[in-house]
Amino acid sequence: MRKYVLSYLTLELDPPATITAAAEAGYDYVGVRMLPALAGGRAFPLMSDAAMLRETIDRLRDTDVRILDLEIARIDGQNRIEDWLPMLEVGARLGARTLIAAGDDPDESRMTETFAKLCRAAAGFSLSVNLEFTPWARLNTLGAATRVVETAAEPNGEILVDTIHVARSDSGIEDIAAIDPARMSYFQICDAEPGTHFPIEDLLYTAREERLLPGEGGSDLAAMITALPRDLIVSVEIPSHRRIAETGHLAWARTALDASRRFMEHCDGSLPAAGQ
């Protein structure tokens, strides 16, 4: 049975509210954002908010939901490992499994070195590190993300595939198929209109505010999923500010999960059985 994650970006709620919504909607895991994706962006720094941390722990205790990923470590050439240690410490206390890192350093050699150091620091807290590429950042293709992770050669270094970023970058199905299965534990699912040559403002708007449910768009989503390693955890990352305003957070969480599960069951049903 596939396991499903309510990604932070889908609802953009604080960790206790995210856990509550995930439990009511039927998810297995959640993601929490403790550091912003961009300067001034929204985040919930549990490492400095003792009251919210206690409430988060209480919600975890009262539900079957667990935390999969922590966000986000931006590797931009300026941040240091020390900047991320408090997040790692709290993540370990919460039982999280992995940390998402974003590559935005113009020096790939330095980015690779920082990623390796971050992996070694995270290993001390029993966490892996998933490196994610985005079309608007310095690390903007799946091939480049794979190269950084493989060159760093840390055992807990992983590659995070977000299907919208594959669809809207110079990345292809062959890049997904080339990933060592041992370098992946989960992926992020959504759909989008086809095309790669969009203004950066459009890329950012769609990715952060108005993604499509699996099957609604024109990306080659089924081919991407077929190329991925089998049995990965599925992170539902489908923000839609418009539809949340219409239906509410909980209803959207349920809709996103139902659509993702149906699409995954269709894709899984079309794959040959293991060993064939």
Instruction: Give the residue from 100, 93, 92, 97 showing the smallest Cα distance to 35.
Output: 100
pLDDT at 270: 72
Query: For 105, what's the count of Cα atoms within 13 Å in the CB-facing half-sphere?
Result: 22
Task: Provide CB contacts within 8 A for 41, sequence distance 6+.
Answer: none
CB-CB contact of 85 with 117 (8 Å): no
pLDDT at 276: 40
Domain ranges of the chain: 4-269
pLDDT at 218: 86
pLDDT at 272: 56
Q: Is 21 helix (H, G, I), strand (E, B) or coil?
A: helix
What one-character-per-residue DSSP string does 126-184 give? T-EEEEE--TTSSS-SHHHHHHHHHHHT-TTEEEEEEHHHHHTTT--HHHHHTS-GGG-
∠ Cα 195 196 200 (to 5°): 120
CB-CB contact of 43 with 35 (8 Å): yes
pLDDT at 193: 83
Domain 4-269 fold is TIM Barrel (3.20.20)
Q: What is the full per-residue pLDDT of the chain (276 aa) written as tens digits?
A: 899 999 999 999 999 999 999 999 999 999 999 999 887 889 999 999 999 999 999 999 999 999 999 999 999 999 999 999 999 999 999 999 999 999 999 999 999 999 999 999 999 999 999 999 999 999 999 999 999 999 999 999 999 999 999 998 889 999 999 999 999 999 999 998 876 678 888 888 889 999 999 999 989 999 999 999 999 999 999 999 999 999 999 999 999 999 999 999 999 987 655 444
CA distance 216 to 129: 31
pLDDT at 271: 61
Q: What is the pLDDT of residues 134-161, one digit of tens each?
A: 999 999 999 999 999 999 999 999 999 9
Residue linked to tokens 């009511």: 24
Single pTM value for the model: 0.95
pLDDT at 196: 65
